[in-house]
Structure 1
Amino acid sequence: MMQNFLTRAHAADRGLLGTWVKLPSFETVQMLGQAGFDFVVVDMEHAPHSLQRAVELVFCAQSCGMAALVRLPDHSGMTIQPLLDGGADGLLIPRVTAPAIAQSLTRRMTFAPAGERGLGTTSRAGQWGLGAMEDYLARGTHECARIVQLEDWQSLESARDFAQLEHVDGLFIGHGDLYLSSGKPAHDPEVRALTGRMVAVTKDAGILSAAAAANPEDAQLYLDMGFSLVMVSNDLTLFGKAAAELVTSARKRS
C-alpha cells in the first residue's frame, strides 16, 4: 500500500491528478493505473459500492501504483474504521456544513487519545498483525488524508474555520452542489473568486486543497490555480464518452 500520500501531495511541485472510481471493476482500476493517474477516489456517496468492494478497490489501486482515497457515503461514520483498516490513504467527507461535523468525523479517523479511532493491527493496514505497531500508528497518524468537502456558499465563505481544525488535512470544493444551491456554475466569476479564496486559505493553513474537474481544460485550470489534488472525470464517464464517440465516428458517412 502507499505509505506517503500526504507527504507526496505536499511535496509535489504541481498538484496530483486523480479520478473517481464508480465502477466496481478491478480491470478498469488497473487501466487507470496504466494510464498514469496519481490517485483514485473510490466513490461510496454517488456509486453503490459495498464496503467490501471499496476495500478491494483500494487494494487494487495501490497495487497498480496509485494512492487510493475513499469518499464516505454519509455522515454516519460507520465505514470509517474498516476503510482505514483496509488501507485507504485517506477519506473524503461529503456535504459538510459545520465545523462541528468536520471535527466529529475527523476525530473518528484519528487514533486515541487525540481521536476516537481504535487499534486494529490485525487488519490490512497493520499488515495482518505481522507489521510493527509503530508503523501502523505512524501511518494512521501522519499519512491519513482527512479531507472535508465544502459544497455550499456559506461553508466555503467560512473555509478558514474548517482549515484550522486540528485533524483536517484538506478541503475540497464541491462545485456541483454549490451550483444547485447558488445557481452559479463553476466558471461564474464569483465562484472562481470563491474558489481562489479557498485555495489561499488552505495554503495559509498548510493543508491540501482539492477540486473535481469535468474535463482536461478544467483540470489544467485548477492545477494552475494551485490545487493540491484534482480529480478529472470518472471511470464510468470516461468509458461512456469513449463508447459514444466510437459509435458516432463508426456511423459517419464519408
Structure 2
Amino acid sequence: MKVSSNPNLRLRNILEREDVAIATFITLKGVRTAQIIAHTGAVIIDCEHGNIDDSDMHDMVAAVSGSGVSPVVRIPSLDGTFMKRALETGAHGIMVPMVNTAKEAELVVKLAKFPPVGIRGHGSSFACLEHGLKTPSEFIAKANQNTITMIQIETASAVENVDEIAQVEGIDLLFIGPNDLSLSLLGYTPANFADTALLQAISNVVASAKRYGKKVGILSTDGEAAKKAKEMFDLIVLNTDVRTLQAWYGKELNIARS
C-alpha cells in the first residue's frame, strides 16, 4: 500500500502504519445505527447480507465519515453498477465478495479505478466530501491511490488460486470469509477453527498475501478470537451489529430470568 498524506483516510492510515485495524459489519439501516457503530472503530456497511438499500448506503457512508471513521461498503457481488454507486458515496473502501480467480480480481481493479488504471467514470459530487477534499477533481487525482480495494477469499477455488489473486496489482487486502470458506471446503457452517483443513486454507491465504505485499483480514466472532487474530491479520472484523445485539440481549435476559 502506498503511503497517504490525507489524515481523513483513517483506515488506510492505520493499515499503512502496520497497526491492526478493527471494524464491524453493520447490517441494519439508519444514520443513527451507523453513528453508534462508528464510535467503536471502522465500519463495513454490508450491502451483501444487510437490510441496506442504495439510499441508506449514501446516508450511512456520510454518517460514518462524519464520525471520524472510515466507511467501507461491502457490495453484493462483482457488479460494476453497484460498485460505482458504492464508490461514489465517498466510501473509503469497497469489499467485493466471492472473488475466485485472478481474472475476477483484475476486473475488480478495472471497475474500481479511474483511467488510466481502470474504466471508472467521473460524475459524483459527493465522494470528495467524505475524503476531506473540496472538489471532484481533487478526489479523482488521488482516488486510485487512496481508495482501499478489498476482495473476499471464501471458496475452495479462491484458496486454490490465491497465489495468482494476490499478485494482482491494485488489490490492497484479501479478506477471509471463514464461514463461507468452511461451507465450501467442508460442507458446514459456522466455521470450526479447530478443523485442520480450514486452518491450512487460512494459512495459505495469509502466506500468499504476505508474499505479495497485500494486507489480509478475517471475521472474528468475539473479543478473545479477535485478540488472538491480531497476531496474524491486518484487519479484523469483530462480528456484526445484529449478532452482537442478539448475544448481549440474550445473555442479559437469561440473567434477568434466573
* TM-score (norm: length of structure 1): 0.89
Aligned equivalent of 2:176: 173
Task: Establish whether residue 2 from structure 1 lines up as the match of residue 8 from structure 2.
Answer: yes
Partners of 1:195 and 1:96 in 2: how far apart? Answer: 15
Alpha-carbon distance, 1:250 to partner: 1.0
Aligned equivalent of 2:77: 74
Aligned equivalent of 1:28: 33
Partners of 1:178 and 1:80 in 2: how far apart? Answer: 23
Partners of 1:5 and 1:135 in 2: how far apart? Answer: 20
Q: Deviations over 1:39-89 (max 9, x none)?
A: 111111111311111121111111112111111112222111121121101
Task: Establish whether residue 88 from structure 1 lines up as the match of residue 91 from structure 2.
Answer: yes
Where in structure 2 are there 5+ consecutive unaligned residues?
1-6
Q: Deviations over 1:222-242 (max 9, x none)?
A: 2112x1110011111111111
Say whether the 8 Å CA contact 2:95–2:149 is kept in structure 1: yes
Partners of 2:37 and 2:128 in 1: how far apart? Answer: 26
Partners of 1:51 and 1:189 in 2: how far apart? Answer: 40
Where in structure 1 are there 5+ consecutive unaligned residues?
none
- The structure 1 residue matched to 2:50, chosen from 47, 50, 68, is 47
Say whether the 8 Å CA contact 2:73–2:93 is kept in structure 1: yes
Partners of 2:24 and 2:100 in 1: how far apart? Answer: 24
What SS is found at the alignment partner of 2:119? coil
Partners of 1:20 and 1:137 in 2: how far apart? Answer: 27
Partners of 1:89 and 1:9 in 2: how far apart? Answer: 13
- The structure 2 residue matched to 1:118, chosen from 116, 121, 145, is 121
Residue 229 to residue 138, structure 1, CA distance change in 2 (3 Å) = farther
Greater displacement, 191-200 / 18-27: 191-200
Aligned length: 246
Say whether the 8 Å CA contact 2:217–2:234 is kept in structure 1: yes
- The structure 1 residue matched to 2:229, chosen from 216, 222, 233, is 222
* Root mean square deviation, CA, Å: 2.0
What SS is found at the alignment partner of 1:75? coil
Partners of 2:159 and 2:16 in 1: how far apart? Answer: 22
* TM-score (norm: length of structure 2): 0.88
Q: What amino acid sits opposite 1:19 in the alignment?
A: T
What SS is found at the alignment partner of 1:224? coil
